[in-house]
Amino acid sequence: MEYTYLKIEEHDQIAVMKVSAPKTLNALCTDVFKDMDDYLNHFDCNKFRVLIVTGDGDKAFVAGADISEMANLGMLQAQTFGARGAAVFRKLEQLYVPVIAAVNGFALGGGCELAMACDIRICSDNAKFGQPEVGLGIIPGFSGTVRLARLVGQGMAKQLIYTGKVIKADEALRIGLVNEVVPQAELMNRAFELANQIAANAPLAVKAAKLCINAEWDMHVDEAIQNESIIFGRCFLTEDQKEGMKAFLEKRKTTFVGK
């Protein structure tokens, strides 16, 4: 697949979507979102078991929404732009396979929001995170106020958003914004290592776990527990459940087919 603003790599069971806008540190313009939307619409969740999202180059993951495109927008145009980005990020969050953000540098504004729409975030030791929007006279517009507060707690999210402070990788780790920090040269290896660990497990079970965790995020605890029980039961309809348990009892490796 050829895109202007994405570089796609497709390995055996793992795909990589690399945002690529070298002149603007991979900033998100309308056409980046068009490419992303198209790629996600055509993403084959049966063929690929994990998607890795990263940025092109060694300096930035994504340096935010494209400020030159936003500068002269009116209210309705800005709402349209924000809604488009938010919808694409929601599509990513709801993709039927796990998504790993490999944050390889600046993840500011829309870049931090992109990383937060992924299931798992790891970053390089030179990564920097922040929601600097209030310094530009706006607020996060691709669901940053929604996801940051849920990820790191309301108090920390408010502090980061009100101050617009840019934090380093170790601070992002400390507050739970990322799961792991690795040397930059090892970032993609580590992302693939994680992706392979996930891909080795029963794909339908992994997908079911993602569906559960996403859906239960804002459910009442009783409803969430009931939801998990239903999805747990459905796992027993799959060939992979029979295979996983049989292999354990026969003391051999599993071969999961995703059925």
Instruction: Considering only CA atoms, give the Rg of the chain.
Output: 19
Least Å distance, CB 71 to ligand CO8, is: 9
The residue count for binding ligand CO8 (CB under 6 A) is 23
Residue among 16, 39, 51, 66 that touches ligand CO8 (CB under 6 A): 66
Residue among 2, 41, 68, 250 that touches ligand CO8 (CB under 6 A): 68
Of 105-113, 177-185, 194-202, 219-227: span binding ligand CO8 (CB under 6 A): 105-113
Least Å distance, CB 77 to ligand CO8, is: 8
Least Å distance, CB 81 to ligand CO8, is: 4
**Partners of residue 122 on adjacent β-strands:** 102, 180
Of 40-48, 101-109, 222-230, 234-242: span binding ligand CO8 (CB under 6 A): 101-109
**Residue 149 within binding range of ligand CO8, rule CB under 6 A:** no
- H/E stretch holding 91: helix 75-93
The one catalytic residue among 133, 186, 223, 250 = 133
**Residue 136 within binding range of ligand CO8, rule CB under 6 A:** yes
**Residue 142 within binding range of ligand CO8, rule CB under 6 A:** yes
Residues 119 and 99: beta-carbon distance below 8 Å: yes
- Alpha-carbon separation of residue 99 from 71, 155, 198 (angstroms): 31, 27, 10
**Residue 132 within binding range of ligand CO8, rule CB under 6 A:** yes
Cα-Cα end-to-end distance for the chain: 27
| Residue whose CB is less far from ligand CO8, 98 or 140 | 140
Of 114-122, 140-148, 185-193, 201-209: span binding ligand CO8 (CB under 6 A): 140-148
Q: Is 180 a catalytic residue?
A: no
Are β-strands 14-19 and 60-62 bridged in parallel, bridged antiparallel, or unpaired? Answer: unpaired
State both tokens at 112: 């931090």
Upper half-sphere CA count for residue 81 (Cβ side, 13 Å)? 21
CA-based nearest residue to 175, from 236, 129, 113: 129
In the β-sheet with 106-108, what is the strand arrangement from edge to edge?
Answer: 60-62, 106-108, 128-130, 167-168
Collapsing DSSP to helix, strand or coil, 62 comes out as strand
The one catalytic residue among 2, 10, 113, 223 = 113
Residue among 27, 32, 167, 206 that touches ligand CO8 (CB under 6 A): 27
Least Å distance, CB 32 to ligand CO8, is: 11
Are β-strands 128-130 and 167-168 bridged in parallel, bridged antiparallel, or unpaired? Answer: antiparallel
Q: Is 171 a catalytic residue?
A: no
CA-based nearest residue to 44, from 88, 19, 14: 14
| Residue whose CB is less far from ligand CO8, 48 or 129 | 129
List residues with catalytic annotation.
Answer: 113, 133
Q: Which residues bind ligand CO8 (CB under 6 A)?
A: 24-25, 27, 63-68, 70, 78, 81-82, 106, 108-110, 132-133, 136, 140-142
